[in-house]
Structure 1
Amino acid sequence: MPSQRQHSPAAERNSQPILEVLQRLLPTEARVLEIASGTGQHAAFFAAAMPGWQWQPSDGDASSLGSIDAWRADAANVLPPVQIDVMANDWPVRGPFDAVFCANMLHISPWPTCAALMRGAASVLAPKGLLVTYGPYLQDDVATAPGNIAFDASLRARDPAWGLRRLEDVAQEAKAAGYSLQQTIPMPANNLTVAFARSG
């Protein structure tokens, strides 16, 4: 029987750099909810490296759950995936989580999902929990790499509601949901890891 594991070359490339950042941001024992887990490669890689992390993968696309489940077979601390529509008022998971991690979603979904992510994460995070996002951003007063300019144009050609987001706009949505911008960490391939902390 063929494996249900789907493979993302980008996830394979960026797993180690993201892991190294998460290891600095999170304690060695933590409950983490991943939004938009995609293939499930990140969940399996991070959890295998950090056995003290209990990782809850999720995705809005039900067709991704089989791949996530197949990848988690090698990591005992990855829970069965759940389907989460970030736009829903209630997410079908029980907190508190020490962190919510979301990679490469904001630029390939309509802008309202940003505010929804902030609200939903706030409802399940521990009082001092972190919301950690990863992906390409536009930044005021920082020149945009030519590759990101081309990527933004290709996304908007596929769907006008998609596109790279201004970090300042995302931070404003985070502030409205009760977060403060804690760290912005440059990553390979002109990406950023951005950590928001609960203000309360």
Structure 2
Amino acid sequence: MVSLPYSQACENNKQPILARLKEVFVGPGTALEVGSGTGQHAVYFAAALPHLTWQPSDHPASIETCRPRLAAAALANLAEPLVLDVADTVWPLTQADMAFSANTAHIMSWNEVEALFHGLGRVLSPGAPFCLYGPFSYGGRHTSGSNADFDRSLRARAAHMGLRDMDDLQPLAEDTGFYLESDTAMPANNRLLVWRRR
């Protein structure tokens, strides 16, 4: 049996994320996932949310990681993954009904985070939700010692990485046509932010 790319974090957080997505992604439509990684979230959420077409995507350098798992799952509502560099001014899809991204904002550069919100502002319709999962800081303060350690380790790996602060995300969201609908505590000092397109 061929071993598939695997993330323990995806296994740990998929159930609590799904519980929240069931409350937010209520209508039929296309859900764009930005940064599908191993494809574990895509397969799990598509199977649990059959009213959606789940659209995986990832950066050109990472897109091949998700393909084996998506192909093995062969779910009717799981679309072929798209090559998506958020920094591109033209994205490979022009419209989505909702969007999801997990553990990406702290790996992207701040310019890429800005590009993510600008891009979603172009493809999401008014009223559409964008669920962003991960660890965040508030007012320059980390919510736990483990998050502070994680932030230091990210910045040591690459200067462009690091936990994003809500004091920076809120104005960016406002500038790109989103408002914060909810901020839900999740396991392991993570949050699930629901931004809504104005």
User: In 2, distance between residues paired with 1:143 and 1:70?
Assistant: 36
For residue 72 of structure 1, what is the aligned residue in structure 2?
70
Matches within 5 A, 1:32-181: 32-65=31-64, 67-73=65-71, 74=73, 75-95=75-95, 97-140=96-139, 144-181=143-180
Instruction: Say if 1:47 and 1:55, in contact at 8 Å, map to a contact too.
Output: yes
Q: Which amino acid aligns with 1:129?
A: A
User: In 1, distance between residues paired with 2:189 and 2:166?
Assistant: 13
Instruction: Say if 1:43 and 1:57, in contact at 8 Å, map to a contact too.
Output: yes
Deviations 1:45-87 (A, max 9, x none): 000011111000000034433x422222322211000110000
User: In 2, distance between residues paired with 1:78 and 1:23?
Assistant: 17
Matches within 5 A, 1:15-26: 15-26=14-25
Identical positions, percent: 40
Structure 1 residue 42: Cα displacement: 0.4
1:188 matched to 2:187? The reply is yes
Instruction: Please list every run of 5 or more consecutive structure 1 residues that lacks an aligned counterpart in the other structure.
Output: none
Instruction: Say if 1:86 and 1:117, in contact at 8 Å, map to a contact too.
Output: yes
Instruction: Say if 2:181 and 2:195, in contact at 8 Å, map to a contact too.
Output: yes
User: In 2, distance between residues paired with 1:156 and 1:143?
Assistant: 14
Structure 1 residue 181: Cα displacement: 0.9
Structure 1 residue 142: Cα displacement: 6.4
Query: Which region of structure 1 is more displaced relative to structure 2, 46-55 or 137-146?
Result: 137-146
User: In 2, distance between residues paired with 1:195 and 1:76?
Assistant: 27
Deviations 1:95-119 (A, max 9, x none): 1x22111111110121111110111
Deviations 1:134-176 (A, max 9, x none): 0000012865201000000000000111100101211111100
Instruction: Please list every run of 5 or more consecutive structure 2 residues that lacks an aligned counterpart in the other structure.
Output: none
Q: Which amino acid aligns with 1:32?
A: A
Q: Which amino acid aligns with 1:188?
A: P
User: In 1, distance between residues paired with 2:184 and 2:62?
Assistant: 32
TM-score in terms of structure 1 length: 0.92
User: In 1, distance between residues paired with 2:37 and 2:140?
Assistant: 32
Instruction: Say if 1:28 and 1:50, in contact at 8 Å, map to a contact too.
Output: no
Q: SS of the counterpart of 1:128?
A: coil
For residue 5 of structure 2, what is the aligned residue in structure 1?
6
Instruction: Say if 1:39 and 1:64, in contact at 8 Å, map to a contact too.
Output: no
Instruction: Say if 1:114 and 1:173, in contact at 8 Å, map to a contact too.
Output: no
User: In 1, distance between residues paired with 2:175 and 2:125?
Assistant: 18
User: In 2, distance between residues paired with 1:64 and 1:112?
Assistant: 20
Aligned length: 196
